[in-house]
Amino acid sequence: MAAPIEFLQFVDDNADAFIQRLSDAVAIPSISGDASHRGDVVKMAEWLNDHLKAVGVETQLVDLGKHVMDGEELNLPPAILGRIGNDPKKKTVLVYGHFDVQPANKSDGWDTDPFTLTIHEDGRLIGRGSSDDKGPVLGWLNILQYHFQSNKELPVNLRCCFEGMEESGSEGLDDLVKKESQPGGWFDGVDCVCISDNYWLNTRTPALTYGLRGLAYFKLTVSGPGRDLHSGVFGRTVHEPMTDLVTLMSKLVDGQGNILVPGIDEMVEPPTESEKAIYERLDYSIADVEQSAGGQIAISSNKVDVLMGRMRYASLSLHGIEGAFSGVGAKTVIPAKVAGKFSIRLVPPQTPELVEPLVKAYLEAEFAKLNSKNKFSIESLHGGKPWLADVNHWNFEAAKAATRAVYHQEPDLTREGGSIPVTLTFAESLGVNVLLLPMGRGDDGAHSTNEKLDRSNFIEGTKLLGTYLYEVAVIQ
């Protein structure tokens, strides 16, 4: 069933109002990983909850309890459960998204204030969360607004699950999803799940995504001196924590992306020739990766190797060093305590439980080789398992039909290099197919400076998500 022409017209007619609403959402700096912004994540939950109620959705703000972040006990932001429609003749679709964002400061290199949605004349809507994931979440709201205002029933029963901790490990959500998937729970009767929280591979071809990498995030701490020291007084007289830490971090990954921790890369089966052909067929080039990275830095000139590096293999990235001197100028300090942060993106059959002991044992052995008198500790901050779906399911067929109707193109079938830990929990707890239906393009710069969502992706993406619901309603 095609989406009603009135729906498509409504989306076009209300495009400016939808962008204003996205601007209001971006203005709330709902950074889940920064304790000082926890109130903003809660404010964002309340904002979204009010907007959902205003378009006829029955909602519940669920308290997820407390957690400890950077040594501080904090209340977790509430998750939002929503439902509309309970017609046994209709399919029931669960949509998931997140309303928290990554940190952003103008001083990171943004051209404009990250929390002021800046509308560029070429159509870019620039602001933190525009693409990841406030734009897609508001896409669902736009669809609901049409049905509410025109007094039309949705073609399916809809269930929503929106969270405010995705960028920080989705703490508390797995238990809620498991509980609500039980008979009589909020998600009882769900037939399929749709998540719009990733990106096309390139800037031209819509995509459906059937895989996500998992994540194992580590913090490696080295300390020794009782306080920061003067390097002129203590240089070459004490074991320096930063020297030990940098040595250890240099032993994790090489310049070609190979993971040096024994046993991790080895867990993954080499690809077959037919699997390589899947990557060969994708509409992608080295120019695409270099354009979205903003530099001519692709690790290989072979497209298949680059794509498999992102989708098919694990990767290890070094993120930062807490406690190190990082300001301007030339401070001659020996930091007393430094903590290196790194993470591993996981692919099947890897899981955090399998990988974490290997990383810990390896780093302990490498630290012992340093003969340092400093103290060393390694902890896991958060993790999530990888996920793969069956693309031969009607859920994917409905999304393909919707893509053809809205974009007049065949979608790419992709695996995402990023992670959305709750995806596998939905798949396992509900026992239904999960689909990722991205709204944004590969060059949106999620997690980066000048994150953007193109106006056309927001507007056509809203039509796509709406049309998908109509296709699900009729597909056998």
As beta bridge partners, residue 75 has 66
Of 288, 293, 302, 136, nearest in space to 202 by CA: 288
Task: Check if the beta carbon of residue 284 is closer than 8 Å to that of residue 203.
Answer: no
CA neighbours closer than 13 Å in the CB half-sphere of residue 250: 6
Please provide residue 45's backbone torsions phi and psi, each rounded to the nearest 5 degrees.
-60, -45
Size of the chain, expressed as the number of residues it contains:
476
Min CB(197)–ligand L7UNP4BN separation in Å: 4
Min CB(207)–ligand L7UNP4BN separation in Å: 13
Q: Which of 164, 169, 214, 386 binds ligand L7UNP4BN (CB under 6 A)?
A: 169
Residues 6+ apart with CB under 8 A from 16: none
Of 166 and 460, the one with the shorter C-beta distance to ligand L7UNP4BN is 166
Of 194 and 215, the one with the shorter C-beta distance to ligand L7UNP4BN is 215
The CA-atom distances, in angstroms, between 166 and each of 35, 56, 174, 289 are: 15, 26, 11, 25
Of 463, 466, 460, 464, nearest in space to 123 by CA: 460
Helical (H) or strand (E) element with 293: helix 286-293
Residue 171 near ligand L7UNP4BN by CB under 6 A: no
Structure tokens at 298: 């692709």
Structure tokens at 235: 């240089």
The residue assigned the tokens 């920080």 is 168
Return the residues of window 128-147 that contact ligand L7UNP4BN according to CB under 6 A.
Answer: 132-133
Please report, as ranges, the residues that interact with Zn ion according to CB under 5 A.
132-133, 197
Task: Check if the beta carbon of residue 449 is closer than 8 Å to that of residue 207.
Answer: no
Q: Active-site residue numbers?
A: 100, 166
Residue 104 near ligand L7UNP4BN by CB under 6 A: no
Min CB(104)–Zn ion separation in Å: 12
CA neighbours closer than 13 Å in the CB half-sphere of residue 220: 30
What binding mask, one character per residue, do residues 363-402 give for ligand L7UNP4BN by CB under 6 A, x or -?
----------------------------------------
Q: Is 415 labeled as ligand-binding?
A: no
Of 206 and 241, the one with the shorter C-beta distance to Zn ion is 206
Task: Look at residue 65 and give its three-state secondary structure.
Answer: coil
Task: Check if the beta carbon of residue 284 is closer than 8 Å to that of residue 307.
Answer: yes
Q: Which of 197, 240, 288, 412 binds ligand L7UNP4BN (CB under 6 A)?
A: 197
Q: Is 275 labeled as ligand-binding?
A: no
Q: Is 46 labeled as ligand-binding?
A: no
Min CB(301)–ligand L7UNP4BN separation in Å: 26
Q: Is 419 labeled as ligand-binding?
A: yes
Of 133 and 454, the one with the shorter C-beta distance to ligand L7UNP4BN is 133
CB-based closest residue to ligand L7UNP4BN: 418
Residue 420 near ligand L7UNP4BN by CB under 6 A: yes
Q: Is 456 labeled as ligand-binding?
A: no
Residue 215 near ligand L7UNP4BN by CB under 6 A: yes
Q: What CA–CA distance (Å, rounded) separates 189 from 222?
A: 50
Q: Is 305 labeled as ligand-binding?
A: no
Which of ligand L7UNP4BN, Zn ion, none has residue 215 at its interface (CB below 5 to 8 Å by kind)?
ligand L7UNP4BN
Of 435, 19, 455, nearest in space to 208 by CA: 435
Q: Is 174 labeled as ligand-binding?
A: no
Of 98 and 147, the one with the shorter C-beta distance to Zn ion is 98
Give the angle subtended at the CA of 262 by the CAs of 258 and 266, to the nearest 5°: 70
Which of ligand L7UNP4BN, Zn ion, none has residue 169 at its interface (CB below 5 to 8 Å by kind)?
ligand L7UNP4BN
Q: Is 120 labeled as ligand-binding?
A: no
Min CB(214)–ligand L7UNP4BN separation in Å: 10
